Amino acid sequence: MKEEKKIGVIRTEFQAAALEQLPDFITAYQCDSRLGVQKLVEQAKKRLQRLAAEQQRIWELGSYERQYAELGMVCGIDEAGRGPLAGPVVAGAVILPKDCRILYINDSKQLSAAKREELYEQILDQAIAVGVGMAGPKRIDEINILQATYEAMREAIQKLNRTPDILLNDAVTIPGVAIRQVPIIKGDAKSISIAAASIVAKVTRDRLMAQYDRQLPEYHFASNKGYGSKEHIAAIGRYGASPIHRMSFIKKFLLS
């Protein structure tokens, strides 16, 4: 009589199994009557169900890309950093392959910092082209944040090593761009290309703010990313403006 594997051994197998190995795990143990083994089989089935749901979500997130695919290469555009008191506004431009199935891409604000970093590397590895543009604090003060955002977006498009045929933008129409544009309200939650661009822009900007934090630790830029946290506003009151502060954004804090 063949000796049954101990549940602990089977549990170790389950924990080590990659997603593509789970169907074999289920087949191997679904007839095992032990309660502990059946619980592991159910966990394996739920993991596969979650995977299927995520694959379906990603398919739906690519609906705009499929809609405009006949026009040629589709590029998503988004920005990060319109609201902070310090640092640049950063724009991302991403052209994904038509068969892109990177799981868990989403509006960057819906993702943890660790997940954004992970997806950033996958996007750079799999994208047809990625461009990043930015406008610094002085430029924001000179021309206002909206115009600076447009400028950063134009730069991101120019830095692509391929010329897109259509742009899917998060909510805006960028002036001074000859390529056809489709503004999509809350596009970073509706388009996989825009979501990818939002991740690229956010990670690029967050990394830059972490560098500024090492140079200007009193403002805690690594944690607040330049946004107006209580700690950040208190630091402005205590130390004044830094070279990366947007003077048009912080006047009221300097006067108080």
- Residues 15 and 45 placed together within one structural domain of the fold: yes
Do residues 74 and 197 share a domain? yes
240 φ, ψ (degrees, to nearest 5) = 80, -165
- Give domain status of residue 1, yes or no: no
Q: Please tell me the predicted confidence (pLDDT) of residue 3.
A: 66
Give residue 101's pLDDT: 87
Question: What residue numbers bound the domain in which 134 lies?
Answer: 63-211
pTM equals 0.90
What is the C-alpha separation between 86 and 240, in angstroms, rounded?
12
Interatomic CA distance for residues 229 and 233, integer angstroms: 6
Q: Is residue 227, in this structure, part of any structural domain at all?
A: no
Number of domains composing the chain: 2
pLDDT-flagged residues of the chain (< 50): 1
In a domain, 231, yes or no: no
The two tokens of residue 237 are 């009151």
CATH number at residue 111: 3.30.420.10
Residue 256: the pLDDT is 53
**Burial zone of 236 (CB within 10 Å; 0-12 exposed, 13-18 middle, 19+ buried):** buried
Query: Are residue 30 and residue 110 in the same domain, yes or no?
Result: no
Residue 235 covered by a domain: no
Q: Where does residue 84 fall: left (phi above 0), alpha (psi -120 to 50 degrees), or beta otherwise?
A: beta
pLDDT tens-digit series, residues 134-182: 999 999 999 999 999 999 999 999 999 999 999 999 999 999 999 999 9
Domain assignment present for residue 173? The answer is: yes
| Domain shared by 57 and 72, yes or no | no
- Residue 48 sits in the same domain as residue 86: no
Give dist(CA 247, CA 250) in Å, integer. 5
**Confidence at residue 4, expressed as pLDDT on a 0 to 100 scale:** 82
In 3D space, the residue among 98, 141, 119, 162 whose CA is nearest the CA of residue 247 turns out to be 141
Same domain membership, residue 48 and residue 130: no
**Which residue's entry shows tokens 């002085």?**
138
How confident is the model at residue 1, as a pLDDT? 43
Tokens representing residue 230 in the block: 């209580």
